[in-house]
Structure 1
């Protein structure tokens, strides 16, 4: 009976720390799997559509569809998490991603573009869930360690994200042996990886981090009467949400637009799936691998400085991608690495800004809505990228994206001056 005594409030603090370590371990395992599912589909989605439709102008449509699908999934996962916890929300999202992967394979076998686009829309749930998992890592983290907790979850995606694209060629060979078009092969890996990630979370993500965080917050309410005066004022809170959303929306828009058309650009210059898979693998690695360092930088030097660094890094990526010769795998890989790094800076700093600003009572729902904006930005970037390349060229697309990312700087400066 003693564990339930009033004095147990202080005894819960070690339990929260232990639970946070367990939560991070489970999230890391699921992110490794989901990273493979995410990266495999990104590698060949545009090529599969181009092969089916025979048009470069619509090659960005798959990216637009699965990022639009991720917008719907972000709302759904956020609402489920808000009412029932992170475990059922994230598990449901990954199962939807697995179902979408299976649909892509069927569409490829039937040579049905309509079914392909519907399946890619559902497949986007995996992308949304992969991103939503970072919030689960921060639920139980202390305010001064939130960025590092987010980065721990993000970096786990690296292993799967690097392995997935490099399995594009072997899974294509396996698909051909099974009577499936080679370009649909990576979606076999995606479906399996997403399904396993759902199982890992459903079985082992206990206690649920969001539900435990709420319980701990309720326990603290009785002890700290002044706690209700601590959160930011409404105007400042709204500014924080707007800034955090803007940082992540712009970085997602620029990143998706350039990334989507890079495999098509390389294919048009005679490179095979192995070369484009390598470049995308380097890009995915740069998106997630620097996360521990980024988390420390954000916690130590502040959210605003790293958000500004994101815009500058994306500009450098756009300039290099525009200047790189089409036959230079090395320079394209370097440009995509900078593109991934700039995205990482924006995602970690933006996530920390949102988590700091939003109260726990509405956190999951607000985070889901924020990720809808991110997904829509990705859909816009993916759709516009193919049209822009068809109308102009890949270098024009890359340079435009780099210049657009500079919009982050005045937003950060304005918010800093208000504070």
Structure 2
């Protein structure tokens, strides 16, 4: 079935597949910023700070906080000017943030470096909308696959980001990582080029005027509440453990390259299953896939608590990435059941604002928890939140099995 919009674009799966492929390539370039900051931000902070080393993870927290602050503006900007214009502008902002971050490393300015990471995170809020943009022109049957296709682009980002770190960290020796952020700016410009070819319609004029239901009404839906809660826990728990891992590895005597490679395998595990996650959702259901993700997150912490050898760190990071993939993609697919076409930008932006607000809190607390309480405490915190999500999924299952009241 083909639906026409005010921009005369067909809303069908042929267009959705084209957009999803373009967004997957853009994800590979634009998504590299996050893995670069995660792999190097805490180390740059540790080198710059002479006193309070517990603030070393602040650059990662600033990036995530920038994403949280950018989610609502991203929704409003793209609602008014369209997806393509928003994505292109964000790519330019990401390039500027890379240039500023490199300058900050040269100047040994921690404050400026943190601000650059915040700006990169703000641009990253638009990258987070790639998965929703791919679903905009898809039928209900293809939406989970479109989302997973885009996130599959993160597999390449998982290689590009850490490998960029490895090959550029000593480019301006003895000033480590200055060249890395120059390279990140170049990757963002490549993403700008790719997203310029997108063709995504705006909502029809007649529905855009109506504005849809009030956000408060949408948020009262049990499925919305559970989808957002599972998305928050999947992403925030992943951020909590991942942000602390490079510092924990360095503290255990491993090298920067070993930490970067660990993050590389983690990011590959985050996005690699996306090639088939959509098919798994279609076959087994969204809630089942979310549940598998939660079990994998718990498995990550279980492995991390078994020891501090390199194999423990890398295995835990792989399980952490897999758990995020199933948990977050499944929760995102659940969220698409809760809104109408004219409500999509508002609901998607609200979801990301809530998710990344909690993710920012998790990453910010990660450094302090590691510094004051240790690696074991960080991993122990995963289990109660996994249990909470299972309880919420059980509550949703009972509600939706109740017969409708006539």
TM-score (norm 1): 0.87
> Which structure 2 segments of 5+ residues have no match?
401-406
SS of match in other structure, 2:129? helix
List per-residue Cα deviations over 1:292-320 (Å, max 9, x = no partner): 22211112211111122222111111111
Q: Measured at CA, do residues 114 and 13 of structure 1 come closer, stay the same or move farther in structure 2, by a change above 3 Å? A: closer
- Aligned residue among 342, 348, 353 for 1:367: 348
Aligned equivalent of 1:3: none
Native 8 Å contact 2:17 2:146 kept in 1:
no
- Aligned residue among 379, 389, 394 for 2:360: 379
Aligned equivalent of 1:348: 329
Q: Measured at CA, do residues 96 and 18 of structure 1 come closer, stay the same or move farther in structure 2, by a change above 3 Å? A: same
Q: Measured at CA, do residues 386 and 140 of structure 1 come closer, stay the same or move farther in structure 2, by a change above 3 Å? A: same
Native 8 Å contact 1:107 1:116 kept in 2:
yes
**Partner Cα distance (2:53, 2:380) in 1:** 19
Matched residue pairs, number?
389
**Partner Cα distance (1:20, 1:217) in 2:** 22
Native 8 Å contact 1:245 1:370 kept in 2:
yes
- Aligned residue among 209, 227, 233 for 1:244: 227
**Partner Cα distance (1:314, 1:94) in 2:** 31
Aligned equivalent of 1:306: 289
Give yes or no for the alignment of 1:36 onto 2:32. yes
Q: Measured at CA, do residues 248 and 217 of structure 1 come closer, stay the same or move farther in structure 2, by a change above 3 Å? A: farther
The offset of 1:14, in angstroms, is 7.4
**Partner Cα distance (1:101, 1:413) in 2:** 44
Aligned equivalent of 1:415: 396
Aligned equivalent of 1:4: none
The offset of 1:344, in angstroms, is 0.7
**Partner Cα distance (1:8, 1:311) in 2:** 37
Give yes or no for the alignment of 1:323 onto 2:319. no
Native 8 Å contact 1:285 1:340 kept in 2:
yes
Write the mapping of 1:6-405 to structure 2, written as runs, cut at 5 A. 16-54=12-50, 55-176=52-173, 181-202=175-196, 204-205=197-198, 207-208=199-200, 210-211=201-202, 214-215=203-204, 238-325=221-308, 328-405=309-386
Native 8 Å contact 1:324 1:331 kept in 2:
yes
SS of match in other structure, 1:188? helix
Runs of 4+ in 1 over 4 A off after TM superposition: 12-15, 215-218, 234-237
Q: Measured at CA, do residues 341 and 13 of structure 1 come closer, stay the same or move farther in structure 2, by a change above 3 Å? A: same
**Partner Cα distance (2:383, 2:261) in 1:** 22
Native 8 Å contact 1:48 1:184 kept in 2:
no
The offset of 1:217, in angstroms, is 9.7
The root-mean-square deviation of aligned C-alpha atoms, in Å, is 2.4
The offset of 1:372, in angstroms, is 1.1
> Which structure 1 segments of 5+ residues have no match?
1-6, 219-227, 229-233
List per-residue Cα deviations over 1:126-150 (Å, max 9, x = no partner): 4322221000111111112211110
TM-score (norm 2): 0.90
The offset of 1:339, in angstroms, is 0.5
The offset of 1:155, in angstroms, is 0.4
The offset of 1:236, in angstroms, is 8.8
**Partner Cα distance (1:244, 1:8) in 2:** 28
Native 8 Å contact 2:296 2:323 kept in 1:
yes
Native 8 Å contact 2:226 2:393 kept in 1:
yes
Native 8 Å contact 1:96 1:123 kept in 2:
yes
The offset of 1:364, in angstroms, is 1.2
The offset of 1:161, in angstroms, is 1.8
Native 8 Å contact 2:37 2:59 kept in 1:
no
**Partner Cα distance (1:366, 1:375) in 2:** 14
Native 8 Å contact 1:78 1:89 kept in 2:
no
The offset of 1:154, in angstroms, is 0.1
Q: Measured at CA, do residues 92 and 13 of structure 1 come closer, stay the same or move farther in structure 2, by a change above 3 Å? A: closer
